[in-house]
Amino acid sequence: MATMNVSLPDPMKSWVERQIRTGHYSNASDYVRDLIRRDQEYQDKRETLIKALITGENSGIYEHMIGDIWQDVKTRRGLDV
């Protein structure tokens, strides 16, 4: 495993130390690794969403009105028929 040194302002260092004291993390490295994993997951989800939005945008104009779309969703889910 590689080593990386990071400088933090005192308030951030205090924050990390408080997170460790909660018992959720055994040390600062565990905390930072968790933050990086979460950021990686966030970026993956964001990329997936952007691709889906671009696909939707490129798919053309949808002729149905928003009320029709909501009614279809409700019908498929067995709500408010």
Ranges of each domain in the chain: 10-59
pLDDT at position 32 is 97
Q: How far apart are CA 46 and CA 19, in angstroms?
A: 26
In percent, how much of the chain has pLDDT > 90? 69
- Of the candidates 2, 3, 42, 35, the one whose C-alpha atom is nearest the C-alpha of residue 16 is 35
80 touches 74 (CB < 8 A)? yes
**Contacts by 19-27, CB closer than 8 A, 24 or more apart:** none
For 29-38, what is each residue's pLDDT tens digit?
A: 999 999 999 9
> Would you say 77 and 71 are in contact if contact means Cβ atoms under 8 Å apart?
no
